[in-house]
Structure 1
Amino acid sequence: MMSNWKWDTVVDKVEWSQNFYKILELDEAITELKFESYFRFVHPEDIEIVNQHFEKVEKEKKWESFTHRIITTSGKVKTIQLLGKVFTNQKDEIVEMIGTCQDVTEFKMAERKFRGLLESAPDAMVIVNDKGSIQLINKQSERLFGYTLEELLDKPVEILIPTRFYPKHTKDRNSFFNTPITRVMGDGKDLYALKKNGKEIPIQISLSPLHTEEGLLVSAAIRDVTKQKLAEQKIHEAKESLELVAQKLSSQNKQLADFTHITSHNLRAPVANLNSLLEIYNQSETDADRTDIFGKFKTVIEHLTLTLNTLVDALKTKIDDSTEDLEEIILGTVLEHTKEILSGAILNSGAIIKSDFSKVSTIRYKRVYMESIFLNLVGNAIKYKSKDRIPEIRITSELENGNIVLKFHDNGLGIDLEQHGHKLFGLNKVFHRHPDAKGVGLFLTKTQIEAMGGVITADSTVGVGSTFTISFN
């Protein structure tokens, strides 16, 4: 339903083609036509925009595509699209306009139906042509991005994309137009959109081709997945937290199994020994024999008492709340306290104790544990000194991968780790013929360190010395 028209503005004479009469449902016998003849068909609600259009044409001497509604002689409401050209004289006065008129009622109805579907979509919808220019958006898009349709119309779609994605997006867009099929964009990848206020948001995009008379368009359904991302992050954090709890429980179960084994082993032996001595005592025939056996009773009972006290201390360490009684401890102060307690042993041995806490001078820890750790490791270094040299002990602190690390180095007897390494931190395990060796210090030290989430390891060479390294979590 294409028609043409001509308007002589000087004499206000209008000529319409046959199709124009049909569009208006006007009798073709009516030939005395003026601008007013056309104007009285304009829908009352569109009169203002028609006036504004012609005022603009008069001012700019230029005609732009224009669409409005009319009411035909039979009362039908139609939508027409007018295209035109303006002619002026030497004084730049308009003398004539010519153009075309097309009935676009069905097209507008289809457009309104499409627009209704677009607005009913739950996601932001952005329609783009093969040049990457935005042709249409819905209200969801306006709410999501903060732009109006007028601000985005015919703008490059990259206005909604962070600059770092420009090169890849252009390549992906061209790829889609070469093979236009419905698909999810960037499946399995993190995609982001850029709002008018400059804020980036995580999104999901589904692309669909739209075949129109104007060519191929692409419809992008865009969904803000900020809440989903936050939920995923919380799930991931919860998973990591559960894994840490599981690891801790596993470690605690292993420690409990080790503790049970140690308890069983170290209590059964002296109890069995007492039973044997008791049986022998009952069978003894002389007072001298009984006195001798009674002396052995005393030795075994003292050993059993020490073992019980040690196990009780270890058990208390394991069941204590490791987060209680934490305080900021100055490592230099703990060392000075240790020297005061061991002053007699230091004087007798001539031990030289050096320290370097310049990299890490303080630690948040249980004071009773830290003092026990220093006392046991420094005390052992002096106890198991070499007869060939003056004992030297060096204690240093540093940061490794975010963890505080303490190192206790001595030049003492050293330990054969190939032979004794597997039982180095066991209860009642001794590795030298020393009268005061009871195998308790390292066991308690390890228990206290592990109770706080730390790790202790040893590096030693027989005849050279040992280094104990503690990594605090």
Structure 2
Amino acid sequence: MQPSDVLTLLGLSTLATHLPNGIAVLDTDFRYLFINPTLADFNGCSVQDHLHQHVTDILPHLAGTIVPMLTKVRDSGIALVDFELTPHTTAPENHWLGSYLPVKNEQQQVVAIAVIARNQTREMEIQQHRQRDLKRMKQVLDNMFAFVGILQPDGTLLDANAPPLLLAGITIDDVAGRKFWECFWWLHNQADAELIEAACRRAAQGYTSRFDVQAKMKDSLIIIDFMIAPVFDEFGVVQFLVPSGIDITRRKRSEQALQESESRFRKVFDSAADALIAVNAEGEITLANKRAEQMFGYSQAELLGRPVDLLVPAQARPNHHQHRHGFMQHPTSRPMAQRQELFAQRKDGSLVPVEIGLTYLEQDPKAAVLATVTDVTVAVQAKQHLQSIIDDKTALLHERELLLKEIHHRVKNNLQIVSSLLNLRSHNAAGELKDVLQDSQLRIRTMALTHQLLYEQKNFSFIPLGAYLRQLSLLIRQSILSPDLVHFDLDQIDDEPQLPLQQAIPCGLLVTEILTNSIKHAFPDGRSGRIQMTLKQLDGQLCLQLSDNGQIRRDFSLGQGNSLGMQLIPAFLAQMGAQAELIKSEGTSYRIRFSVNTGATPE
């Protein structure tokens, strides 16, 4: 056999050069065909100095020992393994073991001898170093909260770090040697155990698996992010399985709580009566509720990611773009805009009247603004219907006002005609009849004045009492002979009170009778004097006082006397709901107190 054939057979030409062991190949005459640097250094010569040299030339001091051994291997075809070697140049404390292996051809004939030298001391140092590394790694793993284990390819647990053992309240002896899926952590759930077993079998085939699973601890169940991966040797064969897991219970619970919160939010969001649309800073729709889909006729997929201008009437979009840009420059929440009519555009192109409120969402990259859109179609229709009713009622009210105005005007005119007739009749009358006709004429003119004020004020329910009393006083003075002899003091009349019609007429008639009586009887024989009228509001009531500084009639009292006017005074007081007090001191005073009838309301 040629040397090249031997090298090809053993595959040593490249591999042996990098191996830590010493390797050489001798022919049957014990000459070196090949030697790697490790064994060459062990022998104390270079690789080139060995080639084609006899072992006795390289190792003369060992010839007596090794030649017989090589001869025995060559002649017997039986290997000699792990015999001690004495190094020639290396440190004496290193312990070397040698092996001679026969190399045979297809006819089982020895054609060469392979020499292998192993530095057992070095191997022990390497092993010790590995053990130290493994110990340090074990310490690191034991101080990790994560679960880490080592399995045989068949799933048998060899070792595990401390945390999962402590949390489960067990020791390594309780689980070592058991199939991993039969260990304490998975006994609570057969389905989880079967999932672990399937993952172990996949890992033995070279595949990594990762999933969430519940692990049983001493007092609770925790959720772990579980992974099992194969570990390959230098030949690509699965040597170990490494399961690992991280406790994600809090994260899972937080995720679940977040999902539940999002679910609740979505339910509330979708159940809102108004359309809710979230828009980002670029004006794109990022969220829309069910009501928005119903209102605008778009599906959720058709709305998301589309510009919000899609929902704006076409003619308003240019301005809307500017408004939106301006809003984002100075964002702030804005309530529903009721100052102008707004419209939105549906998918079919139709317009719907809306009210829109804007809520600015700070620090939300997905939704800068939340728009609340309310369909006010019903409200607009109701408003239009109400406006129609108001217009109709306004027209009817206007007609009513015209009618009342005409009625008061005609009543006033009719009363003036009656007054004129009485005046004509009184010219030809004499004595007591003339006085009666004049008194009647004054009462009629008093009632006519009331209707005149109602007509002039365009208020057909209330009259201004102060103005009424002033004009009434003027009317009385003009109706009585020599009125300049009596001075009227009207400075203390409050112009604010308003009096309803049902009280104004009896009040005017009452004042007429009192003033007429004072002029006639307090100042007899053409005497001069003063009459003062005051009107004030006291304690929620009106206080009307008429005082004269004329002659006092000691035998006179309210409701008594021969004249018709004095007999009517109690009736007028009753119609007004008033109480009157007669005061005789330095003249005569009539103090009248009454409340405004709240059954009527000023228009």
TM-score (norm 2): 0.28
The structure showing larger relative contact order (alpha-carbon pairs under 8 Å, at least 6 residues apart) is 1
- So what's the TM-score if we normalise by structure 1? 0.35
